[in-house]
Structure formats: structure tokens, C-alpha cells
Amino acid sequence: MDNYQFKIICIVGARPNFMKIAPVIDAFKRLAPEVNVLLLHTGQHYDENMKTQFFQQLGIPEPDIDLEVGSGSHAQQTAEVMKRFEPVVDREHPDAIIVVGDVNSTIACALVAAKKMIPVVHIEAGLRSYDRQMPEEINRVLTDQISDRLYLTERSAAENLSLEGIPAERVFFAGNVMIDTLKKNVKNAQYFSDTLKQFGINTVIEEKNYSLVTMHRPSNVDDQAILKNLLQVILQTSKTLPVIFPVHPRTRGKISEFGLDHLIENKNVHLLPPLGYMQLVGLMAQAKMVMTDSGGIQEETTALGVPCITLRENTERPITVEQGTNTIVGVDAQLILAAFNDVMEHGGKVGQQPELWDGHAAERIVEDLLPWLSAKHAASGNI
Ligand code: UD1
């Protein structure tokens, strides 16, 4: 046992995975350098803007393995990751794989490993929106069912897992690895007006005097009427407070397809391409408010103390509403405008830092995982 070297494959695939895996890799390097940690990128996100600059800005090493799956329908994308990941598992024989979050790459790799009896470790487990129209919800439920060790970002997730019959011994409340990355990097985030200048926008906007808008959920952007309504509301708010809007490739495509460009071509709506991490964190931290349908941004705004108006009917991250700065408003124009006006007039929710969102979640995970893996290894007789 003494000289046994664990091999662990960490999986990333899409933009929100990168900031979650970065502190985990770093914690392994610092606390357990003897562990052979391989990084695998499925290639779900492949654009420079959706991938490369995250690796660079977060100091993530180049992936050891890139499956280069690219885009496709959910079935195609998930299947392609599975087909290409299976030979990697056969070749590498990892002692465990680590998956994060809820994207298609998460469930695809978890499923391959679980069927080969390779332990699956899921970071950010147990979150539930109870909305199966979200593809991520299906990915979450299934990944948790086949995971061997589950790390939670908030305590409410334990209750969700218990209701689904997952034994409490598998579950560990570690805190939020994405907030580890935020705490580490926020001091060095790019100043928002430098980001605007970088993309040729020279309008003078003052700090805390703009709203940041992001949206990409299929339920919001793939439906013409909903997307039109959201863009109209955003345009309306821009008359009071300038809008900065980095546009996800999916959203950009749908705006053109539905002929809605005129709604965002306005002097108060500043469009940007998808941004790197340091640019987006700067824009969030310095905004008066954020309007979004992202999951991660609901948490990041809570950690930053910036009011967040969530353009969804539900959230899988309830602590951001109960303790944080988040308000769930859905897509009704009047409700969005009421929440917007509330922030303008009263400053919005103040909030507090959730438990264990302290910048040390990844260390707690590594410190828990290694003894757990050792015990499993010993029990299997491979001593
Ligand atoms: C995925 C995740 C979502 C996450 C989001 C963050 C799933 C089910 N969804 O959604 O949870 O919040 O990433 O961005 O895994 N595209 C590009 N370049 C890229 C990647 C995608 O142009 O590098 C375009 C393609 O047209 C593609 C579309 O964006 O078809 C959607 O990409 P996909 O990875 O399928 O899902 P996202 O909407 O990005």
C-alpha cells in the first residue's frame, strides 16, 4: 500500500467546469503530489472563447487527453463522449474519476466509469431544480445515482440525495470549489472598462452603474417568443441603466435565426463575445446588478455581494436565495422590471456568505478523498 500511486482522471467539458476543476488540481498538487492526476477535456466546448482562455487564465495545465467531441444533439454529444472515453479508461485504469457539475460530459464520463466499476467522484452533487425540462437536471440526478463519493456545496443538497435513496455515508459537505476559484482570482480580475475598451467600446460607464446580462438556457433562448420578450425587457431596462451583455454562441445564433437583432442594436446595450474568466468576474464584481439564467453566476454574485435577478422559474441553488443576493423572477416582463426597479431604488438584497464558501473547499475534498480511496483500495485486496 505504502508505495501505491493513485491515478485519478479529472474530467472537464464545458465552460462552467473549468473553474471548478482548477482548485481541485491545485489542491492535489499541494497536498498530495504523489497522486497521478490526469486532466481530460471532452471537447464539448471548443471555441477559443469558450475554452482556451479559461485554461490560460485559471492556470489549468494543458489537458493530458482531449476527446474533441464538439457539438451535437444531446444524444450525439453524450454518446460521442462515452465512445471516446471508454478506451481511455481501458488504457489508463484509473483508481477513480472526478466529474464536476451537470453538463453532458459529466454524465457521459460517469456512466462509462461506473459500468467498469471505477469509482466516480461527483463534485457539486445533490443540487436539484426539480425541473426535468432542464437537461442539466437529468444529468444531475443520474450522475448522483452512480457516484461513489458525493461532495456538496450547500447543506440542502443532502436532503435531496437522501430523498433519492443515496446513503448518507457517501455524502460529504465540502463547500464550493467554484468560490475557491473566485476568491483566489477576484483581486486580479480585469477592470470592467478595460474589458469594454478591449472590445472597442469606448462609451463612458461608471463602476456600479451598469447591469450585466447573460443568458443561454435553451428554455429561454430556443423559444422565439420568450427570447423576444427577454430582449425587449433588457432593452427597456437599458434606458435607465446601461447593459453589458456577453453573448453565448447559442444565444447569438438564435437571435439571428429569429430576426431579433434590432432588439440588441442599441446605444445602451453593449454586446460582447463570450468572455474569459478574469473579464467576466470583473464585470460581475463591478456591476450594480446582474440579470442571468446561469447557475454558477447565481452563486458567484452571492459570494461577491452583488444583487442577482435570475431569469428562471426555479433554482437548484436555494442558498443563494435564502442567504445570498439572488431573486428568482422567471421570464415575466412585469416581474423582471419590478425586481430591476427594486434594485435601482433600494439597492437589492444584501445577503451573507454561505457556510464553507471560504476558498478551501478543494482542500477539504482532497483531504477526504484520499483516505476514502485508500480504504476502498485496501478493502479490494490490492494492498
Ligand atoms: C452547456 C451546458 C450548460 C452550461 C453551458 C455553459 C449541457 C447540457 N449544457 O450548454 O449546463 O451552462 O454549457 O456555457 O451540457 N458552441 C459553440 N462553441 C463552443 C461550444 C458550443 O459555438 O465552443 C455552440 C454550438 O452551436 C452548440 C451550442 O453552442 O451547438 C450549444 O453548446 P452545448 O455544449 O451543446 O451546450 P451549451 O448551451 O453551451
Dump pLDDT digits (tens) for 153-196.
Answer: 999 999 999 999 999 999 999 999 999 999 999 999 999 999 99
pLDDT confidence of 22, banded at 50, 70, 90? very high
> Residue 71: CB within 6 Å of ligand 1?
yes
Judged against a pLDDT cut of 80, whether residue 351 lies above it is answered with yes
Burial of 91 (0-12, 13-18, 19+ CB in 10 A): exposed
Q: What mean pLDDT do residues 307-313 have?
A: 98
| pLDDT reported for residue 294 | 97
- Ligand 1 mean position, distance from CA 14 (Å): 7
Cell of 148: 461513489
What is the CATH T-level fold of the domain 7-175+357-380, as seen in this structure?
A: Rossmann fold (3.40.50)
Distance, in Å, from the CA atom of 292 to the CA atom of 196, rounded to the nearest integer, reads 19
pLDDT confidence of 1, banded at 50, 70, 90? very low
| pLDDT reported for residue 204 | 93
Element (H, E) at 19: helix 15-31
Distance, in Å, from the CA atom of 11 to the CA atom of 148, rounded to the nearest integer, reads 16
| pLDDT reported for residue 139 | 98
Q: What mean pLDDT do residues 201-206 have?
A: 94
> Residue holding cell 470583473?
282
| pLDDT reported for residue 241 | 98
- Ligand 1 mean position, distance from CA 240 (Å): 31
Angle between helix axes 296-304 and 277-285 (nearest 10 degrees) is 50
> Residue 50: CB within 6 Å of ligand 1?
yes
| pLDDT reported for residue 49 | 87
Instruction: Give, using CA atoms, the residue closest to atom 35 of ligand 1.
Output: 71
**Atom of ligand 1 minimally distant from the CA of 77:** 35
pLDDT tens digit sequence for 315-341: 999 999 999 999 999 999 999 999 999
Q: Are 320 and 299 in contact (CB under 8 A)?
A: yes
Element (H, E) at 172: strand 171-173
What does the buried/exposed string (b/e) look like for 350-359 if buried means 16 or more CB atoms within 10 Å of the residue's CB? ebeebebbeb
Distance, in Å, from the CA atom of 349 to the CA atom of 15, rounded to the nearest integer, reads 28
Three-state secondary structure call for residue 321? helix
Judged against a pLDDT cut of 60, whether residue 302 lies above it is answered with yes
**Helix/strand/coil (H, E, C) string of 94-112?**
CCEEEEECCCHHHHHHHHH
Q: What mean pLDDT do residues 76-92 have?
A: 98
Residues belonging to the active site? 216
Judged against a pLDDT cut of 60, whether residue 383 lies above it is answered with no
Instruction: Give, using CA atoms, the residue closest to atom 11 of ligand 1.
Output: 103
Q: Which of 157, 186, 134, 100 is nearest to 293 (CA)?
A: 134
Decide yes or no: CATH 3.30.460.10 for domain 188-346.
Answer: no
pLDDT tens digit sequence for 130-144: 999 999 999 999 999
- Ligand 1 mean position, distance from CA 383 (Å): 43
**Atom of ligand 1 minimally distant from the CA of 46:** 23
pLDDT tens digit sequence for 233-280: 999 999 999 999 999 999 999 999 999 999 999 999 999 999 999 999
Q: What mean pLDDT do residues 353-382 have?
A: 94
The reported pTM is 0.97
pLDDT tens digit sequence for 212-241: 999 999 999 999 999 999 999 999 999 999
Mean pLDDT estimate for the chain:
97
What percent of the chain has pLDDT above 70? Answer: 99
The ranges assigned to domains in the chain are 7-175+357-380, 188-346
Distance, in Å, from the CA atom of 349 to the CA atom of 377, rounded to the nearest integer, reads 48
pLDDT confidence of 52, banded at 50, 70, 90? confident
Q: What mean pLDDT do residues 272-291 have?
A: 97
| pLDDT reported for residue 50 | 87
Three-state secondary structure call for residue 287? coil
Judged against a pLDDT cut of 80, whether residue 2 lies above it is answered with no
| pLDDT reported for residue 382 | 65
Q: Are 248 and 215 in contact (CB under 8 A)?
A: yes
| pLDDT reported for residue 3 | 72
Distance, in Å, from the CA atom of 173 to the CA atom of 164, rounded to the nearest integer, reads 17
| pLDDT reported for residue 172 | 98
| pLDDT reported for residue 276 | 95
